[in-house]
Structure 1
Amino acid sequence: MTEEIYDIAIVGAGAVGISAALAFARDGYKTVLIGNLDARRDGRTVALLNGSVRFLEALDVWPSLAAEAAPLETMRIIDDTGSLFRPPPVAFTAHEIGLDAFGWNIENATLVEKLASAAKSYDGLTILPEQAAGFEAGDIAATVSLSSGETLTARLVVAADGRNSRLREITGIEVKTWAYPQSAVTAILAHERDHRETSTEFHTRYGPFTLVPLPGRRSSLVWVTSPENGKRLADLDDASLARAIEHQAKSLLGAMRIDGPRGLVPMSGLSVSRFQAPRMALVGEAAHVFPPIGAQGLNLGFRDVAALRDAVVDAHDNGLEPGADETLQQYQRGRDLDVRLRTAAVDGLNRTLLSGLIPADFLRGAGLLAISHIGPLRRAVMKEGVLPHVGAPRLMQGIAA
């Protein structure tokens, strides 16, 4: 395509990929984003936790998102497993840890649209609406082959091309995948009662049933259930599905109706043996996939980007270029423990719900009781869930420079 060398090439134009392009272009790196800037509405939303909101503020994107998002001021957990050790409902409020909200819930497609709009208007950011077909690392740069047959070179390539990452496959990074005996029904709902900025998660024997606020008397649904029940629910008409959701929610928000797109997603997980290869870093679902529990998925992807940005900036300060081995080793060290601990925590919680074994139920119930009644533990867990303070990337601490 051209003989010029980009500093950074990002492959994949989802929320994580676009945010990476904005973050590096903002810092003055010659950046190219490879992918189609489009978003399909499928009834899925994302709860942007406090650290992710700070990250989007640093990218100057948050003002365009705020009016489309609803604050999550209270997070309520209700055990609906029928367990002998069922704890009472637990509610966590953001003001306990000095925040107005744990985060903000927004439709995923709206988030991508606003990020794409910012990218299109950003000087110094090149956008190529193509697909990456190949990758080859070199001594001073990597070569990316495009679907058009053209090529480009970059000091560092960021693979943000999703769970089926072509670039990850080319580099030979080992992947572990697993499936759960679950599917997630997603939908946008309208309801007759105010949600009062409260996210409610029912722990059922088949997985969590979660209602998350949207602006107005609207909420998003993630109903994790068995594949058979998921298919049955997906086959219902809108009115019948709304009644089934109201029944499962114990009429907490009154009568409901479907007020947007619906989806059905098989539940699975993915982990990688390493987060980097020569001249390449993995971010987002190219690096990790797990069930939609605890709002960790996309937030973890944004944390990947912010951590990689820190590694690149630190390398520059030490006279190194973005794709240097030292840069990628710093990124590997920064992501390894964080991603693996959160993957294990989400996987462990999900499997205790599915097991039905008395010891697992006892441990889960005892844990919720301890968090509910021990103030310092309760606040520590809330802070860790919203943003880990040890090793948090600078853009997620409000440090914009």
Structure 2
Amino acid sequence: MTEETFDIAVVGAGAVGLSAALAFARDGYRTALVGGLDVRRDGRTVALLNGSIRFLDAVGAWPALRDVSAPLETMRIVDDTGSLFRPPPVAFSAGEIGLDAFGWNIENATLVEGLAEKARHQDNLTLIPEQATAFEAGGGAAVVSLKDGSELRAGLVVAADGRNSMLRQSAGIEVRRWSYPQSAVTAILAHDRDHRDSSTEFHTRHGPFTLVPLPGRRSSLVWVTSTEEAQRLAALDDDALARRIERQAQSLLGAMRLDGPRGLVPMSGLSVSRFWAPRLALVGEAAHVFPPIGAQGLNLGFRDVASLRDAVVDARGEGRAAGDEETLRRYQRGRDLDVRLRTAAVDSLNRTLLTGLLPADFLRGAGLLALSNIGPLRRAVMREGVLPRVGAPRLMQDAQRA
């Protein structure tokens, strides 16, 4: 059995884990990234909001990703629920809050590939393409056991190993799970009309139907609907599904065709009792899961990483270890409000779409009407949606700050 020692070990080589490894290695920590890449293409994309772009730029990954992404200059919401309180469509323009774009949309697999390429050439970073099988925290370090029989020791282990996190289970962190009577159909589409760098989210009675621009006359689809309807849609051939999508989109982008793989994802949620255990910090879907509404999921995961990085860097400046209890408690304090507010907001919006109750329809319609007509409120909501104004991690405030 062999053993290596690192300052920080990140377990999980998805987008969140890769970004964490890059961030810590950039700051001079001897870092290990444990896990194999998952670059399967299933029609899923992510809208990287402005704060995430700044973070990725700070760790040196964004320049290579920009040309394979599309800007989100305008975001529209259309109430398609058939409600008695149906408000007019609402449009949010990035220019109103001084941005060229709210963010950029990119295929998940392309993002992971780009981050992995950056990681291969990053100083202070060792890539270990093995599965972690066990975790144990000791007094001065944690030990992670690997499938090949080797072990590694680290002062701090970062759990970026997803919603079924082995590390979280090993640490005994309590989890609350829930599910929705919905699934999401995901796909990449080509279409006749220019999307004009605008995303459109139709709120239907079974969930949001969202088209987000990609480079060229292409868009990504996330269609959240009832589980039964999603399975029926998934069973259609490409031409029939494209026609069904065009009809649901009210021919907004003209004729459509499938331009890549598609996926079917059950909708569920997860929250944790705390974001840390001795020598362990949870980030990304190891810490929170909720429906793909409002482009919050991966952006929240990147904020986890950037906040943890701040706590660790500050601890070093104060003479404390990366994995000591006060460092991790500081990380917890920095994430509690942001994560719980976003989880509650997304969950509440999704459930109001499903209820069909008149009071819920009235409140949702009144809220959209207020956003449409009250400029200061609309701009405040846009700024908060892009990046929290209170407690934003330093690398998301300014990509040049250390």
Question: AA paired with 1:59?
Answer: V
Shift of 1:2: 5.0
Runs (4+) off by over 6 Å? none
List aligned pairs for 1:192-341, cutoff 5 A: 192-341=192-341
CA distance in 2, matches of 1:132, 1:252: 46
- For 2:86, the equivalent position in structure 1 comes to 86
Shift of 1:122: 1.2
Question: AA paired with 1:400?
Answer: R
Question: AA paired with 2:377?
Answer: L
Shift of 1:121: 1.2
- For 1:381, the equivalent position in structure 2 comes to 381
- The one-character-per-residue Cα deviations of 1:116-160 (angstroms, maximum 9, x if unpaired) are 001011122101100111111111100111111111100000000
Question: AA paired with 1:95?
Answer: G
- The one-character-per-residue Cα deviations of 1:81-125 (angstroms, maximum 9, x if unpaired) are 000000000000000000000000000000000000010111221
CA distance in 2, matches of 1:283, 1:101: 26
What SS does the aligned partner of 2:230 have? helix
CA distance in 2, matches of 1:122, 1:375: 44
The CA RMSD measured in Å over matched residues stands at 0.8
Question: AA paired with 2:65?
Answer: L
CA distance in 1, matches of 2:314, 2:5: 21
CA distance in 2, matches of 1:390, 1:345: 17
What SS does the aligned partner of 2:67 have? helix
What SS does the aligned partner of 2:177 have? strand
- For 2:367, the equivalent position in structure 1 comes to 367
Question: AA paired with 1:380?
Answer: A
Comparing 17-26 with 391-400, greater Cα deviation is found at 391-400
Shift of 1:5: 2.5
Shift of 1:18: 0.4
> What percentage of residue pairs aligned between the two structures are identical?
78
What SS does the aligned partner of 2:243 have? helix
CA distance in 2, matches of 1:320, 1:57: 28
| Structure 1 position 20 matched with structure 2 position 20 | yes
- For the Cα contact (< 8 Å) 2:46–2:107, is it kept in 1? yes
- For the Cα contact (< 8 Å) 2:311–2:330, is it kept in 1? yes
| Structure 1 position 55 matched with structure 2 position 55 | yes
> Are the structure 2 counterparts of residues 181 and 38 from structure 1 closer, same or farther at C-alpha, using a change threshold of 3 Å?
closer
CA distance in 2, matches of 1:262, 1:141: 43
CA distance in 1, matches of 2:315, 2:346: 33
- The one-character-per-residue Cα deviations of 1:50-95 (angstroms, maximum 9, x if unpaired) are 0000000001111100000000000000000000000000000000
CA distance in 2, matches of 1:210, 1:28: 40
What TM-score, normalized to structure 2? 0.99
- The one-character-per-residue Cα deviations of 1:338-375 (angstroms, maximum 9, x if unpaired) are 10000000000000000000000000000111111111
What SS does the aligned partner of 2:327 have? helix
List aligned pairs for 1:8-157, cutoff 5 A: 8-157=8-157
What SS does the aligned partner of 1:68 have? coil
| Structure 1 position 400 matched with structure 2 position 398 | no
CA distance in 1, matches of 2:376, 2:318: 40
What SS does the aligned partner of 1:116 have? helix
CA distance in 1, matches of 2:117, 2:91: 37
CA distance in 1, matches of 2:4, 2:14: 25
Shift of 1:4: 4.7
Question: AA paired with 1:237?
Answer: D
CA distance in 2, matches of 1:2, 1:141: 16
Question: AA paired with 1:290?
Answer: F
> Are the structure 2 counterparts of residues 147 and 3 from structure 1 closer, same or farther at C-alpha, using a change threshold of 3 Å?
closer
- For the Cα contact (< 8 Å) 2:8–2:32, is it kept in 1? yes
- For the Cα contact (< 8 Å) 2:4–2:151, is it kept in 1? no
CA distance in 1, matches of 2:331, 2:122: 26
Question: AA paired with 2:171?
Answer: T
